[in-house]
Amino acid sequence: MSFEAAVHAQAIDLDKLSLDICAEAGSGHPSSAMSLGHIVTVLMFHTMRWSPEAPDYPTSDRLVLSEGHAVPIIYAAYSRLGGMIGRTPAEWRPMTIEDALSLRDGPSVIDGHPNPREGFPFFDAATGSLGQGLSVAAGLGDAARLDGYDRLIYCIIGDGESREGQIAEALDYLIDQRLSNVLPIFNCNNYGQAGRVSDQQSPETIQAKLEAAGFTVRAIDGHDPAQIREAFEAFTKLQETENAGPMAVVARTVKGWGAPTVQAGNWHGKPAHGESLTRAKEELDQRRVELTSSLVQSDQFVIRPPTEAPAREFAPGEIPSFSDTMRRYDMESTLHAGRLATRKAYGLALRALGHVNDRVVVLDADVSNSTFAETFAKDPALADRYFECKIAEQNMISVGVGLSAAGKIPFCSTFSKFLTRAYDQIEMAINSGANLKLVGSHAGITLAADGPSQMGLPDIAWFRAFTTMKDHRGNPGCYILQPSDAYAAYALTGVMAEYEGCCYMRTLRSDTEFLYSDDVVFNLGGFEVLSEGRDVLLVAAGYMVHEANKALEELDRQGISATLVDLYSLPFDGDALLDLAQANNGYVITLEDNYGASIGAAVADVMTESGDSFTLQQMHVRRIPKSARTPEEVLSMCGLSSGDIAARCLDLLQVGAV
């Protein structure tokens, strides 16, 4: 049987299986899947160098299905090839047709959209929320080049999907990075969900845009096996050319290819049942007869194994102490000055980390001189592990997911406000089990002069949702860290690197005084007691710890003995905090320079869970902030100055006039 006939036969087999899979599930996207039958056949049965027995082998070629809802076609292929499935390597077993038919069932690892964490190690990341996969592929490509692996990354993107701005970001990034080891494949089947794709996403326009961005484009019939193979061979050949620019494939396909029954009308996301199902499969059988001369299952395909992965030892060291690092980099005078912004300490810690942990990589979005990721980036020994993503945060985060899937430890930074741009991507990263370290600078209102378009205000509220649930490892979905001084920021950066799972650290614009020393140990889930009193418990984080400290002096003058806790981590040890609260009459005031539903709410949660009686006052920003020239001014505007804190304590304790 010729290659073409074999591909047709196999594609049709996968198309039929996709129809059955979705019929059995009662939901799914068979017509989307069928537009990819030929491309996926050529990739998984012929082109990709991989091993179904060891699907996550470090040097295997990878396939990222950005168009995640088309996954039934990959499940079909994988079940034919007996690829390994299972949530842990210990549970791995070859996938069967029965597994495929269990799509979307509760106990099944065959999930509605791709997710390696649910037991499908062929994939590197969860997809399904559109527009993200090409960035993941770019991250995998970055890692492959860093590691010197001969590894190619294929990424399938839907035409309707390519409307998502993140795809444009990823394409620019591929060109900037000259990642010619990544192949974007645009699946142009002409239909989105609610109708035809816009002319802006036609194959011609997609090609024109790609060429304008600097890609070499191969336009093909996505159901013509010879054209598909040749396109992939061109990609393989590209790897032999030094410093070649990336190429892309634009494939015209047919949604519901081969079965007119599932083409007419709107079949997006609709399984075929009963008569429609029977008819569609008959139509596919008919195509098979037309396109191949044999009724025999093809055994013509040979999957080439990946190149051998070199043995790699990973022996990370511990970072030196903060003071040692300060001295090493000629910052002794600052050490003595006793003040340094947490964002600067973060940069320093990154640099120290880079030298002892070669898996650490750093990404930033054109603000590295504000976040101080530049401290890492400008170290010549580390520069090749720095990835400048420019003003495109969505892409940055999903690139981080790809890097993480390839075993790196990505630290991604930008202003905390701008990280909001990538919340969808961050959630998908958590679902993927990515080992992402997120750092949002310029948090809170003390940013002052730039105003609210640059301030992180509702960010803790969002991340807090992930502190209330567990990820696939059984850890909190995400830790939120708020170092209040340079020592804490430095230490927590090191802690993040040693921990496996998602973390989000907020840093500040302002220089802040040192509160701690090299001896203080910071833990995920911990908190620090800065002052022990018995009248009222103040709970603060970040900048507000310093403001609270000022208030302590005033309170002391008034004869009030206050306890001050630096709640640098969410989640935190609720029992321990409540003990402290009890030791302070049950009076608690939380202090934060961001919107509510944040630290105060976290404290309210543990209080109400206990069932005991407490008095909690939450001080936070309750209006839209505006520019002010100094942090003091904006804090006063928002009723969060040390004077306001002291007044609130006195009011709570009903102590005389202020």
Give the footprint of its own copies on residues 47-106 (CB under 8 A). Answer: 68, 103-106
Backbone angles phi, psi at 460, to 5 degrees: -60, -40
Continuous segment of H or E residues that includes residue 153:
strand 153-158
CA distance 257 to 30: 10
Nearer to its own copies, 118 or 485 (CB): 118
- Work out whether strand 562-566 and strand 528-531 pair parallel, antiparallel, or are unpaired: antiparallel
Smallest separation (angstroms) from its own copies to the CB of 94: 21
CA distance 488 to 481: 10
The token duo for 332 is 């002794």
Nearer to its own copies, 109 or 497 (CB): 109
Q: Is 639 helix (H, G, I), strand (E, B) or coil?
A: coil
Nearer to its own copies, 199 or 330 (CB): 199
CA distance 430 to 503: 10
Instruction: Answer yes or no: are the C-beta atoms of 638 and 446 closer than 8 Å.
Output: no
Does residue 199 belong to the site contacting its own copies (CB under 8 A)?
Answer: yes
Nearer to its own copies, 58 or 114 (CB): 114
The radius of gyration of the chain's CA atoms, rounded to the nearest angstrom, is 28
Smallest separation (angstroms) from its own copies to the CB of 225: 29
Does residue 180 belong to the site contacting its own copies (CB under 8 A)?
Answer: no
Cβ neighbourhood burial of 436 (10 Å; 0-12, 13-18, 19+): buried
Smallest separation (angstroms) from its own copies to the CB of 322: 25
Smallest separation (angstroms) from its own copies to the CB of 299: 33
The token duo for 202 is 């036609």
Smallest separation (angstroms) from its own copies to the CB of 604: 4
Query: Which of the stretches 143-151, 197-205, 250-258, 281-289 binds its own copies when contact is defined by CB under 8 A?
Result: 197-205
Cβ neighbourhood burial of 163 (10 Å; 0-12, 13-18, 19+): middle
Does residue 341 belong to the site contacting its own copies (CB under 8 A)?
Answer: no
Smallest separation (angstroms) from its own copies to the CB of 641: 12
Give the footprint of its own copies on residues 406-445 (CB under 8 A). Answer: 417-418, 420-421, 423-424, 427-428, 430-431
Quickly count: other Cβ atoms within 10 Å of residue 554's Cβ.
18
Does residue 244 belong to the site contacting its own copies (CB under 8 A)?
Answer: no
Closest CA to 274 of 262, 257, 286, 285: 262
Strands (E), 379-533: 386-388, 409-415, 437-441, 479-481, 503-506, 511-513, 528-531
Using the rule CB under 8 A, which residue among 190, 205, 300, 323 binds its own copies? 205
Q: Is 486 helix (H, G, I), strand (E, B) or coil?
A: helix
The token duo for 6 is 């074999």
Give the footprint of its own copies on residues 476-505 (CB under 8 A). Answer: 477
The token duo for 605 is 């949660």
Give the footprint of its own copies on residues 266-305 (CB under 8 A). Answer: 266
Does residue 523 belong to the site contacting its own copies (CB under 8 A)?
Answer: no
Give the footprint of its own copies on residues 363-402 (CB under 8 A). Answer: 364, 366-370, 374, 388, 390-392, 394-395
Smallest separation (angstroms) from its own copies to the CB of 532: 23
Cis before residue 225, ω within 30 degrees of 0? no
Q: Is 445 helix (H, G, I), strand (E, B) or coil?
A: helix
Which residues are known catalytic residues? 393
Using the rule CB under 8 A, which residue among 451, 525, 574, 643 binds its own copies? 451
Give the footprint of its own copies on residues 113-142 (CB under 8 A). Answer: 113, 115, 117-118, 126-131
Does residue 525 belong to the site contacting its own copies (CB under 8 A)?
Answer: no
Nearer to its own copies, 176 or 513 (CB): 176
Nearer to its own copies, 60 or 370 (CB): 370
Does residue 160 belong to the site contacting its own copies (CB under 8 A)?
Answer: yes
Q: What's the longest Cα–Cα distance across the chain? A: 97
CA distance 392 to 314: 31
CA distance 141 to 182: 6
The token duo for 345 is 């300490």
Nearer to its own copies, 71 or 326 (CB): 71
Query: Which of the stretches 136-144, 288-296, 528-536, 593-601 binds its own copies when contact is defined by CB under 8 A?
Result: 593-601
Using the rule CB under 8 A, which residue among 99, 164, 283, 358 binds its own copies? 164
CA distance 441 to 651: 34
Does residue 169 belong to the site contacting its own copies (CB under 8 A)?
Answer: yes
Does residue 449 belong to the site contacting its own copies (CB under 8 A)?
Answer: yes
Give the footprint of its own copies on residues 457-476 (CB under 8 A). Answer: 457-458, 461-462, 464-472
Cβ neighbourhood burial of 411 (10 Å; 0-12, 13-18, 19+): buried
Nearer to its own copies, 488 or 652 (CB): 652
Give the footprint of its own copies on residues 611-640 (CB under 8 A). Answer: 611-618, 620-624, 626-629, 633-634, 637
Smallest separation (angstroms) from its own copies to the CB of 449: 4
Smallest separation (angstroms) from its own copies to the CB of 160: 5
Contacts of 177 (CB under 8 A, 6+ apart): 138, 141, 142, 387
Nearer to its own copies, 151 or 268 (CB): 268
- Work out whether strand 339-341 and strand 511-513 pair parallel, antiparallel, or are unpaired: antiparallel
Query: Which of the stretches 33-41, 212-220, 517-525, 550-558 binds its own copies when contact is defined by CB under 8 A?
Result: 212-220
Smallest separation (angstroms) from its own copies to the CB of 143: 21
Give the footprint of its own copies on residues 594-613 (CB under 8 A). Answer: 594-598, 600-605, 607-609, 611-613
Amino acid identity, residue 235? F
Give the footprint of its own copies on residues 10-29 (CB under 8 A). Answer: 25-28
Q: Give, to the nearest 10 degrees, the angle between helix 165-176 and helix 393-405.
A: 60
The token duo for 191 is 């239909």
Does residue 168 belong to the site contacting its own copies (CB under 8 A)?
Answer: yes
Does residue 239 belong to the site contacting its own copies (CB under 8 A)?
Answer: no
Smallest separation (angstroms) from its own copies to the CB of 418: 7
Number of shown-chain residues binding its own copies (CB under 8 A): 128
Nearer to its own copies, 37 or 477 (CB): 477
Vertex 136, ends 130 and 137: CA angle to 5°?
110
Nearer to its own copies, 204 or 332 (CB): 204
CA atoms within 13 A on the CB side of 25: 30
Backbone angles phi, psi at 259, to 5 degrees: -135, 90
